[in-house]
Amino acid sequence: QINVLQAKKKFEILDAMLSFMHAQYTFFQQGYSLLHELDPYMKKLAAELDQLVIDSAVEKREMEHKHALIQQRVISFSLQDFSYDDSKVEFNVDAPNGVVMEGYLFKRASNAFKTWNRRWFSIQNSQLVYQKKLKDVLTVVVEDLRLCTVKPCEDIERRFCFEVVSPTKSCMLQADSEKLRQAWIQAVQASIASAYRESPDSYYIE
């Protein structure tokens, strides 16, 4: 009886394995049938993909060409800006209108993004001020130049930068060229010295 039971168990295991193999065969057969039906669509999609790759390559070449043209224009405009700015490098602490020096500078914002914005700066009445646009309201950066210092900044991601530091805050600025940066630094220093001469105050000096 024990041997009979053992023989039956072997048949049961073999039957289970055969049923499993049939299930596997059916599963893959159905999968093959479904994918075979999709074969024409996949071939069509492959052809469309090839055309998309070709169109993308053409568009990339066109964009690179346009980018090169834009860079050339920017360089030519920058050279024109430099020549324009270089003609106004001189500053005058005794100017009749009180404006020692003025021109465009990039100002780094004090927000978390540290964005740079181009503003029209001027040194006048012992103050450093700027405007978003000409004829806009003046925004005062430094109220009294006698309380500030100015220094060039080299350890920064941008060139031609300098910093104006006051007791309460600092302002990072960028000129369009090294010549303009030196001119602005000298103008601020000269304005500081002029402010001391015009209104010597023992409190500020101390």
pLDDT tens digit sequence for 2-33 = 887 777 777 777 888 899 999 999 999 999 99
What are the angstrom distances between the C-alpha of 137 and each of 33, 128, 129, 131, 177?
A: 76, 14, 10, 6, 27
88-116 as b/e, with b when 16 or more CB fall inside 10 Å? Answer: ebebebeeeeeebbbbebbbbeeeeeeeb
Q: Do 106 and 192 fall within a single domain?
A: yes
- Which domain covers residue 150, as residue numbers? 99-198
Asked, for residue 205, whether it belongs to a domain, the answer is no
Same domain, 1 and 61: yes
Residues 111 and 176 in one domain: yes
The pLDDT-based confidence of 72 (bands split at 50, 70, 90) is: confident
Q: In this structure, is residue 92 part of a structural domain? A: no
Q: How many domains does the chain have?
A: 2
The pLDDT value recorded for residue 135 is: 75
Task: Verify that 135 and 60 share a domain, yes or no.
Answer: no
| Whether residue 78 sits in one domain with residue 128 | no
Location of structure tokens 């209104």: 199
Contact 121, 104 (CB under 8 A): yes
Asked if residue 113 and residue 70 are part of one domain, the reply reads no
Residue 79: its pLDDT value, please? Answer: 47
Q: Residue 147 has what DSSP assignment?
A: G
85 pLDDT above the threshold of 60: no
- When pLDDT is averaged across residues 24-44 and rounded to a whole number, the result is 92
The residue with greater pLDDT, 8 or 54, is 54
Cα separation values, 163 from 10, 32, 124, 169, Å: 90, 71, 18, 10
Task: List pLDDT tens digits, range 124-183.
Answer: 988 999 998 777 889 999 998 988 999 999 888 899 999 999 988 899 999 999 999 999
Q: Is residue 82 domain-shared with residue 106, that is, in the same domain?
A: no
| Confidence tier at 201 by pLDDT (50, 70, 90) | low
Q: Is residue 7 part of a domain?
A: yes
Residue with tokens 């630094």: 185
Structure tokens at 88: 């106004």
Residues 103 and 182 in one domain: yes
For residue 160, what is the DSSP state?
S
pLDDT at residue 102 greater than cutoff 80: yes
Q: In this structure, which amino acid lies at residue 54?
A: I
Average pLDDT over residues 194-198: 79
Lowest mean pLDDT among 16-30, 62-76, 180-194: 62-76
Do 72 and 106 lie in one domain? The reply is: no
**Which of 87, 111, 142 is the last residue in one of the domains?**
87
Assigned domain for 139 exists: yes
CATH code of 183's domain: 2.30.29.30
Burial class (CB in 10 A: 0-12, 13-18, 19+), 85: middle
Q: Are residues 46 and 123 in the same domain?
A: no
